[in-house]
Structure 1
């Protein structure tokens, strides 16, 4: 139905992504407000570091949203679309979110090291808690930009593909 309306074809996808990213940012801000209310204190993070963390959050959320849109567009139905996003839900559990990568078994360490969530988590920790960021900031930017471009191209090509 959207394909026959007098609107820009890409506005449907872009509008969905913008709405989803705003929803994600609002959710994180709510969780952050609750964390501050129950006692979380950033150890010396400057306003610039908070702004960098927020910008990185928006970029990372945009990347994951574009990938999720692509997964949804190639799914045959709504149930399959929700199941296709399962790897995106599991990846944070396979990262350094709960335990340091150095303490993981040798066979599992590469899985945690070479995926987008570990550098993102380490960068957020570094910005807000004052730990060492190292090269994780650049890796997070590269993952975010790469996944955004890949997801955008995948989603738009799938959306513009006319069914036979």
Structure 2
């Protein structure tokens, strides 16, 4: 009869994280309707603002072309960012499902690294986010979006989007854990979808009343959207990049620490 040796009894965080990542990717493939729903919302917003409001809103931008063609270049970066906020909503739902359906309780009895459970959710959600972003960018190009970024600019954009996704995923992992049900988990992240409307996502902040303009200029999503817009349109980044990176670091760190605290408490029950 063979016996387990000491190395066999050790946790393997990397191996277990890959296993959990594979589990989450299989779950996404088995339930594609959730991904379709999360991607569909930004696409609907894109079509709505380009074809319904684009002519009027574009005329107010003051560009050389004006109209819808001007506005699609302005609004597309905001919609691309909203794709991330929609996708991470699915992260909160997935985490809440694991908690409410007793999956975490089963993991507790298995010989796996504790950290791998959350890592699998985070890595899977980042990959899902990048897949969703590629679809929305493709739709934006079809409706007239014409970015000016160079090859290097596109790589920088991809890296920046991955960073933003990583930060917001950690926040939604925590939101999923504090939710008492899957329905609650689908509603708690909703402010992330609407904050771009109260920033520079759809209209310039200088067109807003004073009080709203102050909030729009200092909320975290405005420098993120402005950085993305500058990268895609090959414009100077200015201080927006540093504010965006600072907000991403703060959100990621806060989300990670909050998630870890909640998960350790749940896992120790």
TM-score by length of 1: 0.92
Structure 2 match to 1:9: 114
Give the 5 Å matches for 1:1-164.
Answer: 1-43=106-148, 45-162=149-266
5+ unaligned residues in a row in structure 2: which ranges? 1-105
Structure 1 match to 2:72: none
2: CA distance, partners of 1:38 / 1:109: 29
Q: Which consecutive aligned stretches of 4+ in structure 1 deviate over 6 angstroms post-superposition?
A: none
Q: CA deviation at 1:4?
A: 1.8
1: CA distance, partners of 2:146 / 2:194: 28
1: CA distance, partners of 2:208 / 2:235: 20
2: CA distance, partners of 1:143 / 1:49: 21
Partner SS for 1:133: coil
Which string of whole-angstrom CA distances, capped at 9 and with x for unpartnered residues, describes residues 22-61 of structure 1?
1111111111122234443222x22221111111101101
TM-score by length of 2: 0.58
Greater relative contact order: 1 or 2 (C-alpha under 8 angstroms, separation 6 or more)?
Answer: 1
2: CA distance, partners of 1:100 / 1:132: 17
1: CA distance, partners of 2:241 / 2:159: 12
Q: CA deviation at 1:123?
A: 0.6
Q: RMSD across aligned C-alpha pairs, in angstroms?
A: 1.5
1: CA distance, partners of 2:192 / 2:145: 27
